[in-house]
Each structure stands twice: as C-alpha cells, then as structure tokens.
Amino acid sequence: MQLTITNLNKTYSNGVQALKDVSLTINQGMFGLLGPNGAGKSSLMRTIATLQEADSGSIALGDIDVLTQKEDVRKTLGYLPQEFGVYPKIDAVTLLNHLAVLKGITNASERKSLVESLLQKTNLWESRKKNLGGFSGGMKQRFGIAQALIASPKLIIVDEPTAGLDPAERNRFLNLLSELGENTVVILSTHIVEDVKELCSDMAIINKGQVLYKGNPFEAIDGIQGKIWRKRIKKEELVDYRANHNVISDRLIAGSPVIHVLSENNPDGTFEAITADLEDVYFGKIFSN
Ligand code: ADP
C-alpha cells in the first residue's frame, strides 16, 4: 500500500492558500510531516482523511482514488485528530466497545477480544473502567490510537499528537506509534523535530503550503554536514548578525543568544563548526535566506 499525492491545491474562502502544488509519495512505515504552525499540515491531513475537499490535484491510496471514493478510504483509515475529544462520563472499555459496534463489528465475542487487545496494546488495560474525563493528556491520546485501530487500518494519520504531553507520556506514545508502523502507512504530522528524528524513516518539511524537502532524515542531515556554524553572541548583536549572515536559529543559553549559521565557510572566521542535526535541516529550510 502506498499513498500518492499529486499536485494538490487548496485555497480557503478567505483567500489563504493552504496547499500549493503538494506532491508526495508515502510508503509503509512512519512518515513525518514536519512544519511550523500554519504550514498546512492539518489541511493536508484532513484532505487525506476525506474530511475536506481539495481544489485540484489527486490522492491515491493503493487503488483507491481518495478524493472520490471516500467510503473506501474511511473503511481503511485510522485518524487521530489534533484535538481528540472524548465523552468524559464514559469509561474506556464501554466507549471502545460502542465505537467498535459503530465500525460494524457486530459479533460480540470478536468485539470483546478486539477491545481487550486494543486496551492492552495501548497500555490502558489497568484504567479501562475509569471515566475518560479523568484521563491524563497522554492517556487520552493513547485512547485515541486505540479507537483509530479498531478497523485494522492500512492508513493511520496522527495530527500533532505529542503537543501538551509530558516527556514520559510522550515517550510512551511514540513507542506505541513505532510499533504500528511496519505494515501500515503511518503519517505523523508535527511541529516537533524530535518526534520525526526519533521515529521516521521518511519525511517531508512543509511551510506556507509548499513542500520544501522530502526524503530520508539522515540524508537531509548529510546534505548540510560541515555547513553549520555556531557562535555565542551578545543580545544587542543579534540584529546585526541576522542582517549580515544566514542565521537559521538563535537560542538563549544561560541568558545569551547562541546562533547557528548555514554557510559553506566559517562566516567571519570567529564561528565554531558543529555537527548538524535535523533541527538545523528544519530551520535551514524554513528560515534560510
Ligand atoms: P497547520 O496544521 O500546519 O498548523 P493548517 O492546515 O491548520 O496548518 O493551516 C494552514 C493555513 O490555512 C493557515 O494560514 C490557517 O490559518 C489557514 N486555515 C486553516 N483552516 C482554515 C479554514 N477552515 N478557513 C480558512 N483558513 C484556514
């Protein structure tokens, strides 16, 4: 199963062009879609999930034409939206069972064993009788994955799943996602570079509706190796450095800015060469001038 997106365009009625000629080929495994807020990630995810229309272009999931054969996509799709709402006064096992009925799993014993295995898999078995309103952010997200897995999907879309999770919850959630990847197309949409670095063998960077990079994260890093230069500067120097050098990131460390510059050579001989990482790739694509 492969997902192929070809020349996809979308302009909202307020004139915002959220997707500009987006073309991507996504294979089985974990695919990271990385971009800042407002880049167009959710617009793309919602279009693939058949929740909104594109203006032009096409999307194929194997033999299925996603933009016209919506019912066929929905049968094989697991979608975890950015804000996954739950019914607060129902416990996990009851809601999952109910959702399985809605998905057409009518055989009671089959449903019972499916619900049990999903709760085990998402590490929610101990909490299965708790009301969802009492779940932590991470537990809600894992419940979201459990419901997304009911129909044994071939395509799983998770939109910004780790925003708001504490580090331990985030780890547990990412481990869960990585177990799903092998026989399924899993698209992880995120603005968190670390999520992609840890999990995805393939990725794209988008900004302002356009694909700026697609490929393997390691190759992306190799492409800028030897070209990232670091310097600690004074706060008041930042404006000048930005004006005169290709500053791709600045971060306050112990009160003073540390800048990264993308350049073939040591910009003015005073910078230190550092090993590039995926964050430099990302900021290089987004902020390079
Ligand atoms: P991301 O998920 O990367 O944050 P979105 O796809 O949500 O990006 O948004 C892309 C752009 O489209 C943004 O400028 C956003 O304000 C705009 N946008 C998103 N949804 C709508 C909508 N329903 N109507 C109008 N503009 C929208």
Q: Note the pLDDT of residue 181.
A: 66
Average pLDDT, the chain: 92
Percentage of residues of the chain with pLDDT beyond 70: 99
Strands 185-190 and 29-34: parallel
Reply yes or no on whether the pLDDT at 114 is more than 90: yes
How many other C-beta atoms can be found within 10 angstroms of the C-beta atom of residue 74? Answer: 15
Whether the model pTM is above 0.75: yes
What residue ranges line ligand 1, CB within 6 angstroms? 12, 14, 16, 18, 35, 37-43
Q: Note the pLDDT of residue 182.
A: 73
Q: How many angstroms is it from 68 CA to the middle of ligand 1?
A: 23
Phi–psi pair at 108, nearest 5 degrees: -60, -40
Residue nearest to atom 21 of ligand 1 (CA): 12
Q: Note the pLDDT of residue 289.
A: 54
Task: Look at the alpha carbons of 267, 272, 273, 279 in this order and tell me if their dihedral is positive or negative.
Answer: negative
Q: Note the pLDDT of residue 65.
A: 98
Q: How many angstroms is it from 41 CA to the middle of ligand 1?
A: 8
Q: Note the pLDDT of residue 16.
A: 97
User: Do the beta carbons of residue 72 and residue 64 sit within 8 Å?
Assistant: yes
Name the pLDDT band for 115 (thresholds 50, 70, 90). very high
Residue in 16, 33, 53, 188 to alter for ligand 1 test, most ligand atoms within 8 A of Cβ: 16
Per-residue HEC secondary structure of the chain comes to CCEEEEEEEEECCCCCEEEEEEEEEECCEEEEEECCCCCCHHHHHHHHCCCCCCCEEEEEECCEECCCCHHHHHHCEEEECCCCCCCCCCEHHHHHHHHHHHCCCCCHHHHHHHHHHHHHHCCCHHHCCCEHHHCCHHHHHHHHHHHHCCCCCCEEEEECCCCCCCHHHHHHHHHHHHHHCCCCEEEEEECCHHHHHHHCCEEEEEECCEEEEEECHHHHHHHHCCCEEEEECCHHHHHHHHHHCCEEEEEEECCEEEEEEECCCCCCCCCEECCCCHHHHHHHHHHCC
Residue in 13, 41, 43 to alter for ligand 1 test, most ligand atoms within 8 A of Cβ: 43
Q: How many angstroms is it from 97 CA to the middle of ligand 1?
A: 34
Atom of ligand 1 nearest to the CA of 36: 3
Could you tell me which of 84, 127, 79, 124 has the C-alpha nearest to residue 103? 79
Q: How many angstroms is it from 11 CA to the middle of ligand 1?
A: 10
pLDDT tens for residues 176-205? 888 886 789 999 999 989 889 888 999 999
Six-digit token string for 184: 């399924």
Q: How many angstroms is it from 50 CA to the middle of ligand 1?
A: 16
Rounded Cα gap, residues 238 and 234, in angstroms: 7
Residue nearest to atom 14 of ligand 1 (CA): 38
Averaged pLDDT, 3-16: 97
Span of 19-28, 60-69, 129-138 with lowest mean pLDDT = 129-138
Q: How many angstroms is it from 55 CA to the middle of ligand 1?
A: 15
Reply yes or no on whether the pLDDT at 138 is more than 90: no
Which of 76-80, 107-111, 138-142, 196-200 has maximum average pLDDT?
A: 107-111
Q: Note the pLDDT of residue 163.
A: 76
